[in-house]
Structure 1
Amino acid sequence: MVNKTPQVLTIAGMDSSGGAGVSADLKTFAAQGVYGANVIVALTAQNTMGVQQVSMTSPSMIHAQLKSVVDDLKISAVKSGMLGDVPTVEAVAEFLQQADFGDYILDPVMVAKGGAHLLSDEAIVAIKSSLIPLATLITPNMPEAEVLSGSNITNHEDVMQSASKIQQLGVENVLLKGGHASGKDVYDYILLADGSHFWLKSSRVDTIRTHGTGDTISAAITARLALGDDMKKAIIYAKAYVDATIREGIDVGHGHGPLNHQARVADRHFPEVLENV
């Protein structure tokens, strides 16, 4: 009997060192047992030390890639990562409005770990107006959430208010990642479409090998939704998977190294689910 493996899609840039972007997404898809297709919106020359050069894909080529996928594959969930500029955002948004790719997970790659903005103000406006209303889930880190909500985040109450403001932009569900905060524990906040909400608490790992964590968690959620998980279950499992990829780390490169996408998820990797913090 033919194996009816779920098919998913990533729309993102290519990391030449294999740690983030499409490379991380495809590894994550494979680890979850789904088939991954990819649309490349940018080529990067980068490694664990940083990004050396970026070359954007033309909107016409992005459209051609998307059409090739939709004409042949049965995609049941899609995610987007780094989109880079306004023409790319507009090209992706236009196609997503026309195609039925199922659940859409938006990783709004706007702010780097060091705090540098990766998108122009115009591109951020385009994401807010064109992509967020199409998304089933958005997965901002804290600096990105501040940009999207227009408010500073200094405590848990701020996190909740920021997530609510982002949801009001039109997205169904919000995962506000807490990895940028300080402290021995990491608190991620989830606001679901039905108004229910909860926190995920996990202990912080002392490591610099965290390159591609944002890509990986959004890709894992995409895969789990395609496998039939509901949103809450998908997010919790994806968080456990990322925890495993960090804790069972690998030694690659001389800078902020990549995750171990071959890590196996065990009970110890699952976060604590909290209704209130």
Structure 2
Amino acid sequence: MKKYRYTSTLTIAGFDPSGGAGIQADIKTISALGCFATSVLTALPVQNTMGVNTIYPIPYKAVKEQIAVILEDIFPDALKIGMVHTCELVNTIVNTLGKYPKIPLVFDPVMVATSGHKLIEDETIQSIVNKLFPIADIITPNLDEAEILANMKIETIEDMYLAGKKIKGLGAKNILLKGGHLKTARLTSLFFSGDGKVYEFHFKKYDTKNTHGSGCSLSSAIASYLAQGKSMLDAVTLGQDYTKEAIYHGRDVIIGKGNGPLNHFFNPQKLIKNELVH
């Protein structure tokens, strides 16, 4: 009898008790796109749709052991890293992953929540640039995060181009710079590819507050498509299409009193099975 395994994607990220962002959004996205989701918890924020109250850390030893126990048993086809809010956590993740074979890695530099709350310690930024950027195949900052990384204000698409070049100079291989916060009629994002090309994407903006966890969902979608063997450009394109549709299908639903979640399961896929070769 033939035996199979599921295409799997691992998320290393923080918790969201409201279920719209963080590791919950990652698991929903990965599952909706037909991949088997495994997860490692990095932090325990106390938050809801209206904002973040406080962040409780997960012991670094526990993070290290979580990563090890998954990679030794269910080795993923791709990996997404989200909330990494201390230098010690950066070191723990990078040092632990370094012991295993390299896989496609998407890093979402979560620094600012949809509500505007800052989620990262200032001294951690340089550690992220020095240690996580080199091992990440793509980073996916929003404009707030890009402003921190590029040390500049971003108010126009021209500013986005300049910021992307500055962030590329920090050592990022590929960058998807998300322009959802620009005051423009359409949503524009820029993909700075590893070969030096820049691709513009334009999407319709929807009149909705339900964008909580959109960045987490997008980075997890890109990781899931990479796990399925898509090229980086295709994964970026398909990941954005998925996120746009998830926002559209959840735009008129009221969940909570603040920024509501996406509809991750507007078109769920069956888990992808791959035949095991002995």
TM-score of the superposition, structure 2-length normalised?
A: 0.91
Higher RCO (CA 8 Å, separation ≥ 6 residues): 2
What is the distance in 2 between the residues matched to 1:227 and 1:8?
9
Q: Which letter does structure 2 place at the counterpart of 1:232?
A: L
Aligned to 2:104: 103
Deviation at 1:75, TM superposition (A): 1.2
1:52-201 map, 5 Å: 52-201=53-202
Deviations 1:217-269 (A, max 9, x none): 0000000000011111111111111111111113322221111101139xxxx
Aligned to 2:275: none
- SS in structure 2 at match of 1:16: coil
Deviations 1:176-211 (A, max 9, x none): 000011122000000100111111000111101110
Deviation at 1:119, TM superposition (A): 1.5
- SS in structure 1 at match of 2:219: helix
Aligned to 1:253: 256
Does the 8 Å contact 1:27/1:261 carry over to 2? yes
Deviation at 1:60, TM superposition (A): 0.7
What is the distance in 2 between the residues matched to 1:10 and 1:221?
12
Segment of structure 1 superposing worse, 206-215 or 121-130:
121-130
Aligned to 1:272: none
Q: Which letter does structure 1 place at the counterpart of 2:261?
A: P
Segment of structure 1 superposing worse, 215-224 or 196-205:
196-205
Aligned to 2:34: 33
Does the 8 Å contact 1:78/1:101 carry over to 2? no
Does the 8 Å contact 1:217/1:242 carry over to 2? yes
Task: Please say if 1:264 is aligned against 2:267.
Answer: yes
The number of residue pairs the alignment matches comes to 265
- SS in structure 2 at match of 1:22: helix
Aligned to 2:274: none
Q: Which letter does structure 2 place at the counterpart of 1:19?
A: G
- SS in structure 1 at match of 2:46: strand
Deviation at 1:114, TM superposition (A): 4.5
Does the 8 Å contact 2:50/2:115 carry over to 1? no
> Structure 2: any 5+ residue segments left out of the alignment?
269-278
What is the distance in 2 between the residues matched to 1:176 and 1:240?
15
Does the 8 Å contact 2:114/2:213 carry over to 1? no
Does the 8 Å contact 1:48/1:253 carry over to 2? yes
Deviation at 1:92, TM superposition (A): 1.1
What is the distance in 1 between the residues matched to 2:179 and 2:99?
34
Does the 8 Å contact 2:52/2:117 carry over to 1? no
Q: Which letter does structure 1 place at the counterpart of 2:41?
A: I
- SS in structure 1 at match of 2:56: strand
- SS in structure 1 at match of 2:154: coil
- SS in structure 2 at match of 1:15: coil
What is the distance in 2 between the residues matched to 1:177 and 1:210?
13
Deviation at 1:165, TM superposition (A): 1.7
What is the distance in 2 between the residues matched to 1:52 and 1:154?
29
What is the distance in 2 between the residues matched to 1:115 and 1:251?
20
- SS in structure 2 at match of 1:72: coil
TM-score of the superposition, structure 1-length normalised?
A: 0.91
RMSD, matched Cα? 1.5
1:14-53 map, 5 Å: 14-53=15-54
Q: Which letter does structure 1 place at the counterpart of 2:227?
A: A
Deviations 1:44-101 (A, max 9, x none): 2322122233211111111000110111112121111111222112211222222225
- SS in structure 2 at match of 1:4: strand
Does the 8 Å contact 1:134/1:170 carry over to 2? no
